[in-house]
Amino acid sequence: MTGSRTRVALADDDVLLREGLASLLEHAGFDVVGQAGNVPELLRVVRDQNPDLAIIDIRMPPTNTTEGLDAAREIRAGWPDLGILLLSAYVEAERAMELLATGRRVGYLLKNRVIDVADFVGAVRHLAEGGTVVDPSLVQELIAARRRDDPLEQLTPREREVLALMAEGRSNAGIAHQLWITEGTVEKHVRSIMTRMRLPETEDVHRRILAVLTFLDSR
């Protein structure tokens, strides 16, 4: 960062909200170096002012769908050290995770968090200092989605044991020896695992590998 004050760029097509954020941040000790109502303006501010942090509405003109997120991706690619905070009126887990997965100094907040000035300023300051900010509503949505889509939920305890041993690289014979069951029983468990996890057999990806990868990813 340059100087003692964090330099911030604001991008939102709602002028009143944008001006309100600018006033709030300036009062809190940040330096708002530019404002934008659309993506071209935002990119121009980033190029010309080299801010430390950009606060961007996910939905911006002309279609008010993913323009802000697209701009955030472009900024992250061209200015990897620039912090990015996405704002949204709704929980958009999939869109938010695309950016959050890129690393540090990224964040996602619902716009109603701005109402709590202390929390919002604290979140911006934490992000500016190198942290990551994730709205609690997004966390809850991701947890709920994980529970809804958990591919291991339908497995029996014994099938989970078999899958865990598969993940260790054991053959059916090795699994049978470990669990004191026959290879035929292991084969039945494996077939049941594939069916319950709805893993299709294809020419290029073996279902056993897919099952193991899914198991490891869920841990």
Give the tens place of pLDDT for each residue, 44-71: 999 999 999 999 999 999 999 889 989 9
Strand pairing class (133-134; 106-110): parallel
Last residue of a domain, one of 122, 146, 170: 146
State the CB neighbour count (10 A cutoff) for residue 111: 18
Counting every residue written for the chain, the total comes to 219
User: Is residue 1 one of the residues assigned to a domain?
Assistant: no
Specify the pTM: 0.66
User: Is residue 85 one of the residues assigned to a domain?
Assistant: yes
**Looking at residue 201, what is its pLDDT?**
59
Distance CA 219, CA 200 (A): 22
Same domain, 116 and 165: no
**Looking at residue 184, what is its pLDDT?**
92
Which residues of the chain are under the pLDDT cut of 50? 1-2, 203-205
Same domain, 165 and 142: no
User: Is residue 152 one of the residues assigned to a domain?
Assistant: no
What pLDDT digit, counting tens, does each position of 132-168 carry? 888 877 766 765 655 556 677 788 889 989 988 988 7
Same domain, 136 and 161: no
Last residue of a domain, one of 125, 146, 167: 146
Domain that holds residue 210: 157-217
Last residue of a domain, one of 95, 127, 146: 146
Q: What is the DSSP letter of 89?
A: S
Distance CA 84, CA 68 (A): 11
**Number of separate domains in the chain:** 2
